[in-house]
Structure 1
Amino acid sequence: MFKRIVAKNLFSWKNLDQKFSDGITLFTGYNLDDDTPEGSGKSSIFNIISWTLYGKVPKDSVTLDEVITEGEKSAVGEVHFQDGTIIRRTRKPNDLVIVVDGKESRGKDAKETKQFIIDAMGMDYDTYCQCVYFAQNYHKRFITAPEEEKGKILSEVQDLTSFDRARKIAHERSKAAKTEWERLANNRAAEIEIASGQLESLEILEESIHNFESAKEDNINNIEIDLKVSTKALKTVDTYLLENEASAVDDDITHLGKLLSQSEKQKVEYKTSLRSIASEKANVERNQHLFAKNEDRLRRLAVKLESLEDAPLEDGCPTCGAKLTGEKLKKVKQKRQIEITDIQSDIDELTQERDSLIADMPTKGSDEKKIELESLLAEIQESEARITKDIKELEKIKYEILGAKKDQRRLCLDIERFSAKLEEVKATRPTKEQEQVQKLTTQMDVRDKSIKKLTKKIEQLETLSNRLNLLKSGFREVKAHIFRTLLKELSKRATRISSELFDIPVKIKFDNTDEGGGVSKINTRVTINGEERGLGLFSGGQAKRIQLAVDMALSQIVANRSQNPINFRILDESMQNLSTKSIEKVLQVLEKLPGTTLVVEHNELIETVVDKKVNVILQDGISTVE
């Protein structure tokens, strides 16, 4: 462990360079200034080691400045380890450094460097003073320490505090893992909530797109139906127009118009003829009336003429009835003759007129001609009616053809419009919704990956947390197990050493009184000659030997530990007040211990028995090795 101690201006040592070797080395000395074996500076060597390592010495009321040799302004101490490591501490300027492989190393501050040394030693100052440096001025001893203090010392001796640190680290990591788990779980819950909202939005969008596509399909179907209907109608119209040429209909209408015109002319002629016949008939009827009237007048004139010719002249006057004679008769005769002549003349005139009327009378057959003409006129009228009907039909057909052509143009436009609309509808896409769906899908993919990643991390944290909790329990259980084993080992070693220091059976047993299995309370039970006895009931020599047995047991445990073993012990007047026999037994025990044992005692027996000695001389306040 410790190979060498080098010091300058520390305590009474102006220059110190002391090497250590295995076995027992007795430090003796003499104070020439005081002419006594006491106060030569023997213990100061070990205090220099303590001060260099921990900055403290097991001596009450020693200030930092008092460690410097009187009259000097600065001091330095170096502890050299067997592996080449050097720990150097200086005073004025204050410095603490660890030298490994020739390279100086410091913490960010003195406190951190101090912790490096504690870690390297595997114990703090108090444990060092109860397991390595058994100083005369350090009155704390393991055997008499409180129960909690014993637990602390043993924990540090076996580095059980590493389990506490590990358990604390595991606890902190478990707590951090739980915090991180909660954070990730909250993040995942938030992500899932957002994803649920996005899924709902996606479903709404997909439903909207579905409705759009459905409406689009319906629209396409309707347009295709309209297109099919229009195409079919156009085909029908085309067929109709192919079968019905408008020019042929126009020709037919023109031809029928000519026929109708000719019929009209014929009808006019027939009507003229009929009017002529009617006129002739009227003339005939008038002539017949005149003829009848003429015949009546002729008959009456004939009667009158006959009456005049046959009436005798001697008859009386036609007016007064007087009988005519002479001149009167002559005059009457002349008058009668004139009257007869006039009547004859009228008869001749009427006869001539009758002959003229007879001559003007139409020949037989005018009625038949009239009937024939009326029949022809009726036929013409019927023909005109048919022609008119045909013309109307042709006009209707022509109108229908024009309508069909109009329908054809309309249907062509409809087909073109429907076709364009069909392509337009087919090409239409719910672009905005699809973009939103694409965006949402991308976001959901990212969020799904994030959720899976979070889930994986959460599962990893759960696994880690479970492992850390197991480690926490494991560290506690392992520590408890090691502690129980350590107590058994300490009890065993202390009992074995006691058996070498006592002539009667002595048993030392350390128990853990912590009901929870923790490392906190150590109860000490000492049985001597089969009787358990409290420590205060032992004599001074017995108590000293029991204390030495426990101290050496602790030293052995420290020397045999796997991490930072210290095969080094310092007994500064630890055998004081023991009998010669007890001292011999103690020395026998010490000779069996591996490593280095440094002893400071003012005892001739020890000086006689121990071969290796270091003699220290103090002169003029300065210590030197003789």
Structure 2
Amino acid sequence: MIPLELELVNFLAYREPGPLRFEGMHIACLAGPNGAGKSSILDAITWSLWGKARSGSPDELIHQGQTEMRVALTFQQGPTRFRVQRQRRGGKRGQSMLELQAWDPGQGAWRSLTESSMRMTQEKIDALLHLDYDTFVNSAFLMQGRADEFTKKAPAQRKQVLATILGLERWETYEERAKERLAHTRADIQRLEGRLLEIERELAQREAYQSELTEVEAAAQSSSQALAAAEQQWASLEQSRSQLVSLQRQIDDLTRRINLRRREIAEAQTEQQEAALRADQAALQAALTEVQAALRELDPLQQALGQASQLALELASEAARLKGVNQAMAPETEPLKARLVVLEQSSEPACPTCGQPLSDDHRARLLTELLQEIDTRRSQYRNNQARIREVEAQAESLNRQLAELNERLRERSRLEKRLGEIETALKHAGEAARQVAQLQVKITRWQADADDDEKSRHGLEEQAEAAEQALKAAALTPSDIDRLRLDKRLADERVGGARQKLAALASLERQRADRLAERADLTTDQGLYEDLRLAFSKQGVPAMIIETVVPEIEEYANELLGRMTDGRLNVRIETQREIRTGELREALDIIISDELGSRSYDLYSGGEAFRVNFAIRIALSRLLARRAGAQLRSLFIDEGFGTQDASGREHLVAAINSIQDDFDRILVITHIDELKDAFPVRIEVHKTPHGSEFSLS
């Protein structure tokens, strides 16, 4: 990671100073008075990349009086340019935002790589840098007041930092994979052991399974023989049933034929009786005389019917005439009644109807005449009504006579038809006699056939009765056959089950051989994974790698330390330590020596301790730049010169210049004016009323 440009908005001492561009710088010095904001620039870099700085709370990083801040860092990682932008809004409900972008030269624009959450985006940044904050501040970043960050760590922590720089965490992944596979292999072996135990228990049942097969085969053979005998007996019974059905069918056929003959005989006898009647001429002649006499008796009745009909017409005409006269009298009498009422009510000397003079005598006479005429009409009306009733009574009596005559005369058509039939029968009496003889021949023949069929049916009924008695006497029933078949099926199933058990034993023997071979392979794999687990553990390959690089770190640190101390100080890094039991334990101890010998780190002066820390940290940074996938070819040194005398400062500057080829960008922070000119590029930081500013010189 090589920083290219840094933008600050409301971050610590800065408001909006504009972008700080690092391109073209190899070694640069950040200079300015104490508190101007030099270290804040490095804080901005770590906060943009990891959200961490010297302050524990992000809200403390917001410029005083402001509510939000933003830092954007553009950097080079390999051939690609990236930009990380982190923002923070302070307060009780503070909010943060993180964006990751990559420059697309084809489109000439930034392409977003931001994930759906800050956590996922941060993981993406860590994976891109192959570096976390703790490793950074323990190697390539000598933070103000924390130059001894690595030296004062416990040996195990120092070893972890070194492992991270070397990218040894992948060996932890390998170890976990080896452990997982080892656990799976052990589980598979345990599963196979359990299965093999089950197989052995099953194989031990072979003798019992063989005895069981012999027993069930004998039972199955017995069931099969019993079923065969029963089925043979049942077949014989079925044949008897078929014979019985055939006999019953013949009996039914004979019964239908006998019934048919009897119906034919009855019909022939009836026809013979009718023919015999038609053949009796004396009876026919007597019937003819009787019918002729009955017809002669009807002739006077016909004449009387004609006379009664004429009289009925005359009576009906007279009744109609009288009713018409009475109906006409009512409208003719009403004017007379009205005139009578007027004359009776009038006292004028003139006639109220005609206007002629009218005397009292004349009025009396007119009234008398009107009354007489009205009485005459009433008398005539009553007489007519009496005559109408009399005529209607006569007509009703006459109609009853007519009905009786018509009823008797209706016998004529029947008698005439009977007369024709008798005359025809007399003509065909001889033919009817011959028909009687023919019918008698048929009746005699049919009766003989019916008698023969009766005898045959009786014989068949005796045979059927015998067959039916034989079937009833049989002890075998369909349920017996079903039970025997079920017994045989169950016996066969038991035989199949026993044979299947024995066949399964053969399969189990093959399985046992396969499982034994599989267990042997897994045992081999288990040993292999055990070896791999040990090889991937901290005591394995990672320890060997550390053992390999420790001499390099030690050599490079001593080279720098020798320059800075004129060969007075040197360090030794030991990877193993002997414990009280005499055993060796993995460690990463730093032993510092001078011309007086080795002594504790705390017994060295501040200037000496800083030079030791500086040498070790530069060696770690150089290792990080050369070996780790992080490709962190940048070095950041924040202060530390204040602990050195003039000679020590010169040696430090010389040491920095000597390592410039190992890094693409080195940033040194100092407030000592005499050191500003020691570096080719100087970034001046100064305070203003509107926040700190920086300038290049």
TM-score interval (norm. to shorter)? 0.5 to 0.7
Report the CA distance shift for 1:571/1:462 in structure 2 as closer, same or farther (over 3 A): same
Deviation at 1:74, TM superposition (A): 4.5
Contact 2:140 2:634 in 1 (8 A): yes
Tell me what 1:69 maps to.
63
Distance in 1 (alpha carbons) for counterparts of 2:76 and 2:503: 65
Tell me what 2:7 maps to.
7
Distance in 1 (alpha carbons) for counterparts of 2:619 and 2:681: 24
Q: 1:423-445: CA deviations, max 9, x gaps?
A: xxxxx998435633664477667
Does 1:478 find its partner at 2:533? Answer: no
Distance in 1 (alpha carbons) for counterparts of 2:38 and 2:4: 15
Match of 1:90 among 83, 87, 90: 87
Contact 2:68 2:87 in 1 (8 A): no
Question: Which structure 1 residue ranges, 5 or more long, are not aligned?
Answer: 30-36, 220-427
Report the CA distance shift for 1:117/1:440 in structure 2 as closer, same or farther (over 3 A): farther
Q: Look up the equivalent residue of 2:642 and give its one-letter code.
A: Q
Contact 2:572 2:590 in 1 (8 A): yes
- Which runs of structure 2 are paired with 1:16-165 in the superposition (5 Å)? 16-21=19-24, 23-29=26-32, 37-59=33-55, 62-70=56-64, 71-83=66-78, 84=80, 85-92=82-89, 93-99=95-101, 102-106=111-115, 110-111=118-119, 113-138=121-146, 140-165=148-173
Tell me what 1:251 maps to.
none
Deviates more, 1:580-589 or 1:14-23: 14-23
Q: 1:545-572: CA deviations, max 9, x gaps?
A: 1221112111111111142231111001
Secondary structure at the residue paired with 1:69?
Answer: coil
Match of 1:435 among 491, 496, 517: 496
Contact 1:3 1:82 in 2 (8 A): no
Aligned pairs, how many?
A: 406
Deviation at 1:116, TM superposition (A): 4.5
- Which runs of structure 2 are paired with 1:447-462 in the superposition (5 Å)? 458-459=519-520, 461-462=522-523
Does 1:545 find its partner at 2:611? Answer: yes
Contact 1:52 1:79 in 2 (8 A): no
Q: 1:345-380: CA deviations, max 9, x gaps?
A: xxxxxxxxxxxxxxxxxxxxxxxxxxxxxxxxxxxx
Distance in 2 (alpha carbons) for counterparts of 1:141 and 1:173: 38
Contact 2:203 2:508 in 1 (8 A): yes
Does 1:507 find its partner at 2:553? Answer: no
Does 1:607 find its partner at 2:604? Answer: no
Distance in 2 (alpha carbons) for counterparts of 1:68 and 1:483: 41
Q: Look up the equivalent residue of 1:168 and give its one-letter code.
A: E
Distance in 1 (alpha carbons) for counterparts of 2:72 and 2:511: 60
Report the CA distance shift for 1:193/1:88 in structure 2 as closer, same or farther (over 3 A): farther
Q: 1:451-507: CA deviations, max 9, x gaps?
A: 677666645543443222111111232122112223222211111111111123432
Distance in 2 (alpha carbons) for counterparts of 1:41 and 1:550: 27
Q: 1:114-154: CA deviations, max 9, x gaps?
A: 45544444443222112011111436422233333322222
Report the CA distance shift for 1:511/1:47 in structure 2 as closer, same or farther (over 3 A): same
Deviates more, 1:523-532 or 1:199-208: 199-208
Normalised TM-score (structure 2): 0.51
Report the CA distance shift for 1:208/1:77 in structure 2 as closer, same or farther (over 3 A): farther
Tell me what 1:586 maps to.
652
Deviation at 1:508, TM superposition (A): 0.7
Deviation at 1:192, TM superposition (A): 5.2
Contact 2:25 2:681 in 1 (8 A): no
Q: Look up the equivalent residue of 1:104 and give its one-letter code.
A: L
Secondary structure at the residue paired with 1:526?
Answer: strand
The structure with the larger Rg is: 1
Tell me what 2:229 maps to.
none
Does 1:467 find its partner at 2:528? Answer: yes
Distance in 2 (alpha carbons) for counterparts of 1:180 and 1:94: 49
Secondary structure at the residue paired with 1:142?
Answer: coil
Normalised TM-score (structure 1): 0.57
Deviates more, 1:69-78 or 1:49-58: 69-78
Identity %: 18
Contact 1:494 1:553 in 2 (8 A): yes
Secondary structure at the residue paired with 1:622?
Answer: coil
Secondary structure at the residue paired with 2:692?
Answer: strand
Distance in 1 (alpha carbons) for counterparts of 2:666 and 2:543: 31
Q: Look up the equivalent residue of 2:59 and give its one-letter code.
A: D
Tell me what 1:489 maps to.
552
Tell me what 1:256 maps to.
none
Report the CA distance shift for 1:117/1:517 in structure 2 as closer, same or farther (over 3 A): farther
Report the CA distance shift for 1:625/1:447 in structure 2 as closer, same or farther (over 3 A): farther
Does 1:171 find its partner at 2:161? Answer: no
Distance in 2 (alpha carbons) for counterparts of 1:120 and 1:457: 43
Question: Which structure 2 residue ranges, 5 or more long, are not aligned?
Answer: 90-94, 105-110, 226-488
Does 1:554 find its partner at 2:620? Answer: yes
Contact 1:23 1:597 in 2 (8 A): yes
Structural RMSD (CA)? 3.7
Contact 1:8 1:16 in 2 (8 A): yes
Report the CA distance shift for 1:436/1:551 in structure 2 as closer, same or farther (over 3 A): same
